[in-house]
Structure 1
Amino acid sequence: MPRSVGLDALAILGGRSGAVLEDPPAALYWFIASGHGAEWNVAGTRVLGAESRLVIPPNRRTQGPGPHWRVCPADGMWITDAAALQAALEDVTSPQGVAAR
């Protein structure tokens, strides 16, 4: 998703977020359980499928250049609850959320 939207969603999720990959300059990626993206419908975002490829940096790489962790996958915490992520993104992209930014 676009970095600007993702940062706002991350602020809403707080400690409920799993690992978040940042690929500068413009994208953030969350990991959700397989199969939970089938009904995903959040404007400005998309779900990558099993055939998609991402460059995964070392677990503690938190700065660029290049892909790095915005939220490290600590203690195996990779997955974010898809419903919570979708709700956060809907809050951010709703007319009220856009007006608040």
Structure 2
Amino acid sequence: MTSPALQLGAATAAQPAGRAWDAVRVPRSIGLLALATLGARSGAVIEDDRALYWLVPTGSAAGWDITNTTVLGVGVKVLVPPARRTAGPGPFWRICPGDTWLTDVTALRAAVEDAYRPEAAR
């Protein structure tokens, strides 16, 4: 189930964050490690050639201060791929929206912080 504020059309569309969801942008290499840690706890994830974008509840990532990551909220548009695009080029769904399309920001933060730790510390 998707939110009325997350429209999945036939083409990629720039959609406003900060209404029903914010997005957290994480560099692709770190994002893939974080995704492996999150596993089934992850909601929908958009991927492009440089980053992964998790959709999180609006305002839940306020104060996010992890290096090289960005919270995209009010005033920012996010490129949202069509529902069935699961490969590039361009943005695609690494994890398609389903019943649980938002990711818990506390779990995401822990996974991203863990992904930044040196391999020996994992």
Picking from 5, 22, 41, the partner of 1:16 is 41
Name the CA distance, whole Å, in 2 between partners of 1:41 and 1:80. 18
Please report the TM-score for the alignment, with normalisation by the length of structure 2: 0.73
Please state how far the C-alpha of 1:29 moved relative to its aligned partner.
0.2
Paired positions, count? 96
Residue 54 of structure 1 pairs with residue 74 of structure 2: no
Residue 93 of structure 1 pairs with residue 116 of structure 2: yes
Other structure's SS at 1:28 match: strand
Tell me the alpha carbon deviations over residues 17-75 of structure 1, each in whole angstroms, 9 at most, x when there is no partner.
0000012x111100111111112121221101121111111112101111100000023
Please state how far the C-alpha of 1:99 moved relative to its aligned partner.
2.6
Q: What is residue 41 of structure 1 aligned with on the other side? A: 65
Identity of paired residues, percent? 55
Structure 2 residue runs without a partner (length 5+): 1-25
Structure 1 residue runs without a partner (length 5+): none
Whichever structure has more helix as a proportion of its residues is 1
Q: What is residue 66 of structure 1 aligned with on the other side? A: 90
Q: What is residue 53 of structure 2 aligned with on the other side? A: 29
Retained in 2: the 8 A contact 1:18–1:78? Answer: yes
Which 4+ stretches in 1 moved above 4 angstroms?
A: none
Other structure's SS at 2:72 match: coil
Other structure's SS at 2:57 match: coil
Q: What is residue 81 of structure 1 aligned with on the other side? A: 104
